[in-house]
Chains A and B, each alone.
Chain A
Amino acid sequence: MAPILSIDDLTVSFSQPDRSISAVRQVSLAVAARECVAVVGESGSGKTQIFMAAMGLLEGNATAQGSVRFEGSEILGAQAPQLNRIRGSKLTMVFQDPMTSLTPHLKIGIQLAEVLVCHTGRSWSEARIAARRMLERVRVPDPARRLNQYPHELSGGLRQRVTIGMSLLCEPLLVIADEPTTALDVTVQAQIIDLLRAMREEVGMALVLISHDLGVVAGLADRILVMYAGRIVESADSAELFRDPRHPYTGALLKCIPTLSGPSLARLPTLPGQPPQPEDSLDGCAFAPRCPRAAERCRTERPLLREAGNAGDRGSNGIESGSSAIENGGARRVACHFPLSP
């Protein structure tokens, strides 16, 4: 079955007066219908810029190369009128900061209804009714009153529900959620994750979940892509990744998640060092400076993203897989010369 979104060899660079910074380096991935893919990495890993490029939301000084296809049509670099046919209706995005993502001087009702009026040609009154129904679906209490309120009159959690509802109004094929819970309280975070899960079951859209927190995506993702310094370093089914991480970075991330079991006085392990600055040019593996398993080869030769089969599979030859991305779920990939053994 053809993927909804397929990204091939995407590179995103920002040009500054004296230099060029690559935030995303040759990333390929695919999202199938109804699938939930999590893209996980530290800030600066490029995870957000991939999808900004897909949505045509890159800053003025950014250039993107490669290919992004939505439902088979190329959308990278498309003009606004063409993009606007799918943005907000078939392909929608939920942003991280509910405080600033909604227009402060417009009522909630208008911000919701305008999506329907614009994309489905309904009248304003019909759209308002549909908006109120959506607020009920995303579990906003007293929806009729909320429609007439301004964003600053709602709490952060409610605002995020509104934003999620806004993204679902036109029954999209794919929703991209960029750190949807990061700006919220921990208790509210869980509610939002539950909401996303419920919406997936009801609406059946595909979901891309961008996060820096593996714990947040655990209950929701079918597949997880781990990013480091602008590249994908590991991709696996969710359950497999947690049970059996192959990339040392993934392993370290997992150890950082606090768990309920284990000695209560043990300190949380941390990763020494910092991720590389985007402008540093990298020979070899970007993670090498922080990797406890790094060898000389790691510093000189960048490992390609390859299928990782059994424990003994350490072939250094072989083409980078995933570069013409029809990635069926289940294919396990790692970019490491010395992956962790299962």
Chain B
Amino acid sequence: MLRYFLTRLAGAIPTLFIIVTIAFFLIRAAPGGPFDQEQTLPPEIMANLQSAYGLDQPIWAQYGRYLGALAHGDFGPSFKYKDFSVTELIGQGFPVTLEIGSIAMALALILGIPIGTFAALHHNSATDYATMSLAVVGIAIPTFVVLPFLGLLFGIYLHWLPVAGWEPGSIRHLVLPVAALALPPLSVIARLTRANMLEVLRSHFIRTAVAKGLPLHTVILRHAMRPALLPVASYLAPAVASIMTGSLVVESIAGLPGIGRYMVQGALNRDYTLVLGMVIIYSTLLILMGLAVDLLYAWLDPRVKLER
């Protein structure tokens, strides 16, 4: 297992390297520069700015400098937020995004799997139809519609929860954003679990387990759950991607100071280094997720041979 993990990790590094390189050169090669939106500056000041940010050097030198800085965890200065380096911004924002993202993911699993199982056990009942209809709603309606609606209902009409804003350590401010963020993956997981559980419950080995007189909870938890969850495991990586995407929306609407918001701002402001830094962070996260999912898969199904 360990050897597999290390091999895959080693394989991931070149991928990351390629992504960084392509991103870097693409940005540098693009028309226009980061200072184009400011009012036209006198050429001397422009030259000063360029050299301060290292933009007057040949491109290979810039690349080298960037990689060198990266190795030390330095993502360079933000072109827009003049007083901050990208590293600082990431440092501030990442914990927030990580917090809401992981809570949302955990919620999606903790609620989605039991709901799907329950629906499968009560196949074709009213509860089944009800929960699956809600799941369709959760999948179809985009997060940027759900969150404001939730805010309208719970914040403005009912006054139960704050609509936006953030205070460190406050849970009330996280409830609506996390709920809106968790809804799509929760719905997908519920649907997947239900469909797979129905399949698995028809298997011969489940028939054997029932014939052995085992109580229902044992049959479900010990015999049915693992095979039923295999497809859910494959969904985990797309789920994380979906939560990442959702965090852009949720942070922007609710005013949460996470890296998602910086990403959007960076795009609107054409802040090169910021966006580059974000791309690296997100790519790393995704690759790590992919790795984790592979390991999870192998644990769930002992028939999967790890040496391929």
Contacts and interface: CB of A to CB of B under 8 A. Distances in A.
A contacts B directly in the complex (CB < 8 Å)? yes
B205 A103 contact: yes
A30 to B, nearest CB: 21
Contact of B300 (A95, A105, A150): A105
Contact of B213 (A88, A100, A102, A103): A88
A104 B211 contact: no
A105 B209 CA distance: 13
B226 interface: yes
A55 B209 CA distance: 12
A88 B214 contact: yes
A106 B222 contact: yes
Contacts of A88: 211-214
Contacts of A57: 207, 210-211
A101 B303 CA distance: 16
Contacts of B227: 104-105
Given A95-B207, A150-B302, A152-B303, A103 B214 contact: no
B208 interface: yes
A199 B306 CA distance: 40
A197 to B, nearest CB: 23
Contacts of A115: 212-214
Nearest to A169: B212
A166 B301 CA distance: 23
Interface string B194-230: 0000000001110111111111101000110011000
A311 interface: no
Interface string B8-25: 000000000000000000
A104 B213 contact: no
A23 B306 CA distance: 46
A119 interface: yes
B213 A85 contact: yes
A87 interface: yes
A118 B214 contact: yes
Contacts of A97: 204
Interface size class of A (residues with CB under 8 A): 20 to 34
A196 interface: no
B207 A86 contact: no
The secondary structure that dominates the B interface is helix
Given A105-B301, A105-B302, A152-B303, A87 B207 contact: no
Interface in B42-100: none
Contacts of B222: 103, 106, 114
Interface in A5-33: none
Contact of B208 (A56, A84, A101): A101
**Most chain B beta-carbon neighbours within 10 Å: one of A55, A57, A84, A105:** A105
A95 B206 CA distance: 12
A173 B213 CA distance: 15
A103 B212 contact: no
B211 A87 contact: yes
B223 A106 contact: yes
Contacts of B215: 81, 84, 118
Contacts of A89: 213
A106 to B, nearest CB: 7
A100 B207 CA distance: 10
A97 B223 CA distance: 17
A115 B218 CA distance: 11
Contacts of A150: 302-303
A145 B222 CA distance: 22
A88 B213 CA distance: 5
29 contacts: A55-B211, A57-B210, A80-B216, A81-B215, A83-B213, A87-B211, A87-B213, A88-B213, A88-B214, A92-B212, A97-B204, A100-B204, A102-B205, A103-B205, A103-B222, A103-B223, A104-B301, A104-B302, A104-B303, A105-B227, A106-B222, A106-B223, A114-B214, A114-B222, A115-B212, A115-B214, A118-B214, A118-B218, A152-B303
Q: For the complex of A and B, list the 9 residue pairs with the smallest distance between their C-beta atoms, beginning with the closest.
A: A88-B213, A87-B213, A88-B212, A100-B204, A84-B213, A103-B205, A93-B211, A101-B208, A105-B226
